[in-house]
Amino acid sequence: MAGMAAMTMPCVSRFFASPCLRPALRGHSAGDCIRVGNSIKHRVPKLGVRTMRAQASPRVVEDELQGYWQHVHICNAGRERQVEFLPFVLEDSKIGYIHPRFLKHLRRFPEVFTVNDDGTNGMSQGWVTLHELLRSPRERTDAVESVLRTLEMEGLVPGWRNEHYPVVTSFGGRLLFTLERAAVPFFGTRAYGVHMNGYVQVDGEKHLWVAKRSATKQTYPGMLDHLVAGGQSVGISCKENLIKECDEEAAIPAALATRAISVGAVSYEQIKGEAFKRDVLFCYDLELPADFQPSNKDGEVESFELLPVNEVAEVIRTSQRYKPNCALVVIDFLFRHGIIHPDQPGYLHLLQNLRSGECQ
């Protein structure tokens, strides 16, 4: 972000967990610490998920996977309430969902929104569309933006971001219009993002860089996060977006960031109040040099930690310290790197539910 270059660098610690992690980790005492320079860093014991598995009873193994489900459930909470929402339709395609309580505000703008309550078009609860005179993506974007600016001033669309997300029937498809990021959940349109796991090989063992979000973040302040993640705005490719976010969030140079590998996606659907989040997150892995040290430029990260993958797995399995959707991406990493494996009961069920939302 502009104007942030001169800010103080966040704390970076390697191999030792910060106090924010300690309550989530089992089996170490507050006195187990080591002096690094002039500061005290608490040592994280090597929890060794594989070692625990070898010694555990079948029931303990099943419970070990069960711990990951809390994040799947959080990300998909409230889905049973979808029946309360009216479909948002454009060009004969269902592109989103709008709750009646939010719809009452849109009814004030009949020159922009058309509401059909008569159950036509095969939708018994009615449906919402844009006015038929709004034909081009530019006309639709401008008209909807004008309405949203009014609602934002009235406090009905909080957290304005000045970022435009594409509204499409499927990713990469023809653009119908664009929508302010803060308003996307109120229209239930699908949103996309890029999330990257940055990892390092240390003596043959994988370690993940873990970011702690700034306490001033609008959403999930102080929670644990990926090394790099960002929403997918209009007018930029996923790889271009990832390279941009790598620079802003972790000072990863473009020559290194371009080596990130696309490894799939996770998805979820979550309803809270009038908001319906339908997110697809494109996942990337980047192996970093052992001597790489991330630093944050945009003020959104408080600190970084480099932790063995098994210990990150234990934090996710036994706590809710991670931002919920980021936990899904790390769980996907654990599948692909063999920390979670087919011999564990519930393996396929958990794998399938990392993509609970429509991947379109």
Q: Quick one: average pLDDT of 239-262? A: 97
What does the pLDDT look like over 165-194, one tens digit per residue? 999 999 999 999 999 999 999 999 999 999
Element (H, E) at 150: helix 137-153
Residues of the chain with CATH 3.30.750.160: 86-187
Whole-angstrom distance, CA of residue 272 vs CA of residue 2: 33
Task: Give the pLDDT of residue 8.
Answer: 42
pLDDT at residue 11 is higher than 70: no
Task: Give the pLDDT of residue 119.
Answer: 54
pLDDT at residue 27 is higher than 90: no
pLDDT at residue 10 is higher than 70: no
Residues of the chain with CATH 3.90.79.10: 11-77+191-353
pLDDT at residue 50 is higher than 60: no
Between 281 and 300, name the one with better pLDDT: 281
Mean pLDDT score of the chain: 85
Domain 86-187 carries which CATH code? 3.30.750.160
Strands of the 86-90 sheet, one edge to the other: 93-98, 86-90, 127-130, 113-116
pLDDT at residue 149 is higher than 90: yes
Task: Give the pLDDT of residue 32.
Answer: 37
CA 66, 68, 71, 77 torsion-angle sign: negative
Lowest-pLDDT choice from 74-83, 258-267, 297-306: 297-306
Question: Of 3.90.79.10, 3.40.30.10, 3.90.550.10, 1.20.1440.230, which CATH number belongs to 11-77+191-353?
Answer: 3.90.79.10
pLDDT at residue 1 is higher than 50: no
Q: Is 105 strand, coil or helix?
A: helix
Task: Give the pLDDT of residue 118.
Answer: 65
pTM exceeds 0.85, yes or no: no
Token code pair at residue 349: 């069920």
Written as one string, the DSSP assignment of 336-357 is HTTSS-TTSTTHHHHHHHTB-S
Q: Tell which residue, 332, 337, 322, has the closest CA to residue 201.
A: 337
Whole-angstrom distance, CA of residue 253 vs CA of residue 237: 18
Task: Give the pLDDT of residue 63.
Answer: 64
Using pLDDT thresholds of 50, 70 and 90, give the confidence band for residue 24: very low
Whole-angstrom distance, CA of residue 313 vs CA of residue 281: 20
Lowest-pLDDT choice from 35-39, 147-151, 153-157, 355-359: 35-39
Using pLDDT thresholds of 50, 70 and 90, give the confidence band for residue 300: confident
Task: Give the pLDDT of residue 124.
Answer: 56
What does the pLDDT look like over 67-76, one tens digit per residue? 999 999 999 9
pLDDT at residue 28 is higher than 90: no
pLDDT at residue 60 is higher than 70: no
Using pLDDT thresholds of 50, 70 and 90, give the confidence band for residue 299: confident
